[in-house]
Amino acid sequence: MSDPNLSSDEIERMRTPLWEQAKEALRTGDHEAAEDLIDRAVTQWSSLQEYSINWITSLLTFIGEELDEAAVERALRKTGDEFVRPRRTSDTKWDDLPASARAKIIARAMVANFGKVEVEEDEEKIILSFQCGSGGRLIEDGRYEGDHAYLKLRSSGPQTFSRDELWVYCAHCSVNNEIQPVEWGETPTSIEFPPEQAGDPCVHHIYKNVGDIPESDFVRIGKTRP
């Protein structure tokens, strides 16, 4: 038999996730190797995330172009009913969590998804301004312009936050994060204001008392206060 192409050490590294290799490096005291492995793991995840958000947005664009914009909302609603809603099920309703907890949960998810956040607070709310690492990244990368541009929703209504147009990826924010929670008898995850152009932040308002959410924020998604 000819010499194998892969050594046993190479095979073991192929089988072991980079973060597990980093843990082993820490156990052996090789901090430099651990840092390098963590950086490599982050680079790998970033590449996979880029693939996933483009895959999702390409599919939503196809649905909107082949069917219509209403079909995009139906597709997102299916995700909301079958995946998002069970994730919201816990002993404590989202509405009953303190604003600080809601803000931390949202920020943690967005930062983990390669976003950056600025935090402000006034008497009635916490304001999170994100450089979004998913939908915002697509806008910054020009994926809604030129050849093979992704779809912009132009049927003004609840799924566009009543705007004249909305980036199709960002429609999950209106449908899954605001519209459906109200239909489920709860409060929106946050009150979101997606970017209108490249360079804009995605702004989230987290009200300390959910009863203080302005009526206009429900009107723009076609709802009344629950």
What is the chain's pLDDT, residue by residue, as a tens digit (226 residues)? 577 898 888 888 889 999 999 999 999 999 999 999 999 999 999 999 999 999 999 999 999 999 999 999 999 999 999 999 998 888 889 999 999 999 999 999 999 999 999 999 999 999 999 999 999 999 999 999 999 999 999 999 999 999 999 999 999 999 999 999 999 999 999 999 999 999 999 999 999 999 999 999 999 999 998 7
Tokens representing residue 113 in the block: 């998804």
Q: What is the pLDDT of residue 14?
A: 87
**Quick one: which H or E segment has residue 204?**
strand 202-207
* Phi and psi torsions of 202, nearest 5°: -95, 115
* Phi and psi torsions of 174, nearest 5°: -70, -45
Q: What is the pLDDT of residues 82-115, one digit of tens each?
A: 999 998 888 889 999 999 999 999 999 999 999 9
Q: What is the pLDDT of residue 69?
A: 98
Average pLDDT in the chain: 96
Strand duo 125-131 + 152-153: pairing: unpaired
Distances (CA, A) of 113 to 52, 67, 88, 108, 218: 12, 30, 19, 9, 27
- Cα–Cα distance, 8 to 53 (Å, whole number): 35
| Residue 184 near residue 190, CB atoms below 8 Å | no
Every domain of the chain and the residues it spans: 68-219
Q: What is the pLDDT of residue 1?
A: 58
| Residue 75 near residue 182, CB atoms below 8 Å | no
Q: What is the pLDDT of residues 132-145, one digit of tens each?
A: 999 999 999 999 99
Q: What is the pLDDT of residue 88?
A: 83
How many C-beta neighbours within 10 Å does residue 179 have?
24
- Cα–Cα distance, 154 to 169 (Å, whole number): 13
